Amino acid sequence: MAIYYEEKNKIFRLDTKKSTYLIGLTPEGYVGHIYYGDRLFHDVDSCLLRMEEAPFTPSVNKREKSAFLDAFPMEYPTGGIGDYRESCLNIRNEQGCMGSEFHYVSHEIYKGKRALEGLPASFGNEDEVETLEILMEDPVLEVSLVLCYSAFEKENVITRNVRICNHGKQTLKLEKVYSACLDMDNEEFEMITLCGSWARERRIQRHELHYGKQSASSAKGESSHQEHPFLALVTPGTNQLQGKVYAMNFVYSGNFLAQAELSQFDSVRMVMGINREEFCWNLRKGETFQAPEAVLVYSGEGLGEMTRSFHDFYRNHMIRSPYLHKKRPILINNWEATYFDFDTDKLLAIAREAKKSGIEMLVMDDGWFGERNLDNSSLGDWTVNEKKIKGGLKHLVDEVNAIGLEFGIWFEPEMISPDSELYRKHPEWAIQIPSREATQSRCQYVLDLSRPEVQDYAYECVAKILRSANIAYVKWDMNRQLSDLGSSWLDRESQQELFHRYVLGLYRMQERLVTEFPNLLLENCSGGGARFDPGMLYYSPQIWCSDDTDAVERLAIQEGTAFIYPLSAMGAHVSDCPNHAVGRVTPFETRGHVALAGTFGYELDITKIPQEDRDMIPRQTEMYHKYHELIREGDYYRIASYRENNSYDCWAVAAKDKSEVLVTYVQVLAGANRHSRKIYFQGFDSNALYRLEGTKKTYSGERLMKMGFLMEALTGDFRSRLYHFVKTEEYH
């Protein structure tokens, strides 16, 4: 049993294989946090709630109530009543006052997990997950609050979400609704977040926690290039192999806040939810608000274990696509090959050459519709430009199929160019503030997806094209952040619902897409990787990781992305050099090894690249065919980080049964010291013998992990090697 309630001590206990989460009830019905950490196997008590500690006693006459509230470890703190740390829920009543207080009413424990209305969320069958729902009430506001916890035993994951229902008559304003809170004692925590910029997404950043609040957030309408809906608190000295890690990741693709706060009493409050900035939801009589899901991972065995918990969880319980366990076709995308300058003949020439090298799909990127020959027009006019696509789309797709390749296509359905037929007809469909000229970004505005007719129009544009030809793949792009928040559809009172309604509209459109086209391979994208989050993974099994395709820059980007997300989800391509983002020249072989850690594909004009590079493609596509399953399904181990050592990167993927391990090594900068480098591997079975493929050498797993492996010195910068170890025998 993963979840149970112990009546005597009034404790809810949630167990996963390696972690335990304890929730306690006080005599007044406050729901408090007792413990989250290593799995407990014996009886527990609730003394960590510290109800007896003077002067913080919640006495019956409520004499010490404010002092109590400001120190008590709350499962879900509410604002306005005396807990001055960050609250998770702020409700304003019709008189204009903000304050709410909830007490326990009842609970329900059941096997399985219910879906969240209109939102992406994890799923699992009755053998895989159990759920606890704690019902609480504020009788003054006549509002109920349900705290939902699901325990995924095998993956060591607890998910949380909340829903709020208005049973009274007044319209309430939800000014803040977060999804999860963890109140803990400080253990000299350090905080890890992922930050970045366009072409530099998800860099791992770590610093000591200081008093007060420190956060990562987005107010850009998407999860963003700059910050990421992820936060981990770790004990000092935590590395890949050891240390305590408390991590949260948010299943949401819009504005978020991930915050840690060190309080006056050395307790830490960690929260995750929709960013309160420019958020206010009107909760009318009888209505329910469902907040998105937060994913919590505790690891007592360092960051590597945390990573593998997230990977398994997203692969087993978030990604729904039929491609999840299937080989993804090796695609060639024409963006960096041609940008907007292409036509049918050019694409077919690329397809013919690609076919010869073992590539399996051609993806036509931006520029095939309306009058779009640059990025300054036509978004919204999704009709094929037959001046470029001579003979029409179906003809092109049929020709590509006849060559023996599948066909994929790019869309940016959420956008509208000021220079478009759509904008001339429906300027009110763009998000903008009346009487104020909206800010353009990449010469475009954002469509108001809170408006059902806009969702329907944009969806139909995509669906009509997909119905017209044999299209196997869609790249769904989004190239600007939201600004000038104004909707001509929403009334005055509801304007601050726009950010969230936008995200709900997007989810509704993608849900329709995967329902109508269940076999479509969908790849999400946002100016590279600005919307690489678990919410989007619910719809697409892969997401374009970054517009920076340089093999060296990709090391840090992919390390940060793979810190939480499985390799099977990371869109990664081999591109031409000098690299278009940074101008660097790297060996073609290295570019292949780095892209192999993701979905693998090409983004270059194969008819123009040097012959020696072209000659290497058949070997690379063969390499992908050999390793795709291991990389997609295996366990990922981060062995060394160029980000930390300024010299080299190394990671491994081990089969679940440890029968084979693929190690990738990239030497970024060569040194005059030509000595081999000792590297301690991870991921092997220490009681087994492995043969290094291509040699006659055998090594025990124990030796590779404890004594290390001597990595040969490579001559030249940006050089890489793959080492494939295959288990040959086990010791007994």
In the complex, which residues of this chain contact ligand DGJ (CB under 6 A)? 335, 365-366, 410, 477, 479, 525, 527-528, 544, 547
* Residue entry with tokens 């900068």: 669
Residues labelled as active-site residues: 477, 547
Name which of 597, 513, 540 is nearest 319 in CA terms: 540
CA 429, CA 415: separation in Å to the nearest integer?
Answer: 10
Cβ-Cβ contacts under 8 Å for 438 (sequence gap 6 or more)? 430, 431, 432, 445, 483, 484
In the complex, the smallest distance separating the C-beta of residue 544 from ligand DGJ, rounded to whole angstroms, is 5
In the complex, the smallest distance separating the C-beta of residue 449 from ligand DGJ, rounded to whole angstroms, is 19
Q: Which is nearer to ligand DGJ, 138 or 201 (CB)?
A: 201
How many other β-carbons are positioned within 10 Å of the β-carbon of residue 378? 26
Q: What is the number of alpha carbons within 13 Å of residue 509 lying toward its C-beta? A: 30
Tokens in use for 115? 């879906």
Checking DSSP bridges between strand 601-603 and strand 574-575, what pairing results, if any? parallel
In the complex, the smallest distance separating the C-beta of residue 336 from ligand DGJ, rounded to whole angstroms, is 8
In the complex, the smallest distance separating the C-beta of residue 362 from ligand DGJ, rounded to whole angstroms, is 14
Tokens in use for 234? 């770790």
- Asked if 350 and 334 touch (Cβ cutoff 8 Å), the reply is yes
In the complex, the smallest distance separating the C-beta of residue 443 from ligand DGJ, rounded to whole angstroms, is 11
In the complex, the smallest distance separating the C-beta of residue 333 from ligand DGJ, rounded to whole angstroms, is 7
In the complex, the smallest distance separating the C-beta of residue 368 from ligand DGJ, rounded to whole angstroms, is 11
Cβ-Cβ contacts under 8 Å for 225 (sequence gap 6 or more)? 196, 197, 198, 200, 201, 527, 528, 529, 530
* DSSP H stretches of helix in 517-610: 534-537, 551-562, 588-595
Q: Which is nearer to ligand DGJ, 177 or 447 (CB)?
A: 447
**DSSP-assigned states of every residue in 146-175:** EEEEEEETTTTEEEEEEEEEE-SSSPEEEE
Q: Which is nearer to ligand DGJ, 383 or 495 (CB)?
A: 383
Q: Which is nearer to ligand DGJ, 363 or 688 (CB)?
A: 363
Please say whether the dihedral angle defined by the alpha carbons of residues 135, 534, 481 and 375, taken in this order, is positive or negative.
negative
Q: Which is nearer to ligand DGJ, 153 or 381 (CB)?
A: 381
In the complex, the smallest distance separating the C-beta of residue 328 from ligand DGJ, rounded to whole angstroms, is 17
Name which of 489, 478, 481 is nearest 539 in CA terms: 478
Q: Which is nearer to ligand DGJ, 179 or 479 (CB)?
A: 479
Q: What is the number of alpha carbons within 13 Å of residue 227 lying toward its C-beta? A: 21
Q: Which is nearer to ligand DGJ, 159 or 481 (CB)?
A: 481
CA 152, CA 576: separation in Å to the nearest integer?
Answer: 43
Q: Which is nearer to ligand DGJ, 271 or 332 (CB)?
A: 332
**DSSP-assigned states of every residue in 442-484:** TTBEEB-TTSHHHHHHHHHHHHHHHHHTT--EEEE-------S
Q: Which residue is nearest to ligand DGJ (CB)?
A: 366
Torsion angle of alpha carbons 147, 151, 156, 158, nearest 10°?
Answer: -10
